[in-house]
Structure 1
């Protein structure tokens, strides 16, 4: 099978699994798993892409969590929130100077996924326990990267290699 068809099948089937799992037994935002899944491929795939994606996404998550904590301790005015977000954004750029984290959008995806999860769940970043939006987003980001890795492995396994056709 050609690579595009192999990946179509692999990703399509695994998207069904991901959506079903996140809608039933593993309640994390499916859109965050898809963001991390895409991040895996953007960062080159394979083991290196997995590590780089998870590290970048979780760095964004950490910076976002600190930003949300800072916002929670301010006067909650528009300017205070804007300043906190500006500092968080600057921190993401500085973090991207590190070789492992040198694709800034992957850090931003982790940041945005955490903020989005906070809004979607209606839970504050200070929420204790497993329903903490940062923990929920972290689980979704890692899950998405894992789906990316598995979809690549299956897609590659289904791809008919040129050498195999010649034999």
Structure 2
């Protein structure tokens, strides 16, 4: 099978598994797993892409969590929230100066996934336990990277390899 078709089959089947899994057994936002899955491929795939994607996404998650924590503990109004988000954004840019984290959008995807999970779950960042939105987003981000890794392995395994014969 040609590579595009192999990846089509691999990603299509695993998207079914991911959607079923997150909708039944492992209740994390499927859209966050898909963001992390895409991040894996954008960062080059393979073991290096997996490590870089998880590190970048989780760095964004940490920065978002700290930003949300500051917003929760301060009552500064809309301008204060805007300033805190600006500080968080500046922190993401500074973090991207580290070689492992040098693809800024991957950090931003982690930040946005965390904020989105907080809004979608209706849980505050200060929530204690496994329903804490940062923990939920972290689980989804790592799961998405894992789906990326597996879909790449499966896609490569399904791809037709031509043998060169000497006659």
Q: Deviations over 1:32-55 (max 9, x none)?
A: 000000000000000000000000
Task: Give the whole-Å Cα distance in 2 for the aligned partners of 1:85 and 1:14.
Answer: 35
Residues in 2 aligned to 1:117 and 1:15: alpha-carbon distance in whole angstroms: 20
Partner of 1:35: 35
- Distance in 2 (CA, whole Å) between partners of 1:33 and 1:76 is 33
Alignment-derived partner of residue 123 in structure 1: 123
Q: What does residue 139 of structure 2 align with? A: 139
TM-score, normalised relative to structure 1: 0.97
Q: Which 4+ runs in 1 deviate beyond 3 A?
A: none
Is there any run of 5+ residues in structure 1 with no aligned partner, and where?
A: none
CA distance in 2, matches of 1:104, 1:131: 28
In structure 2, the partner of 1:110 is 110
Aligned-partner Cα distance in 1 for 2:55–2:67: 18
Number of residues paired by the alignment?
166
Alignment root-mean-square deviation, CA: 1.0
Cα distance between partner residues in 2 of 1:132 and 1:144: 18
Structure 2 residue runs of 5 or longer lacking an equivalent are: none
Structure 1 distance, partners of 2:76, 2:32, is 26
The residue aligned with 2:71 is 71
Match of 2:44 in 1: 44
Give the TM-score, by structure 2 length. Answer: 0.97
Alignment of 1:147-158 (within 5 A): 147-158=147-158
Distance 2:46 2:159 in 1: 16
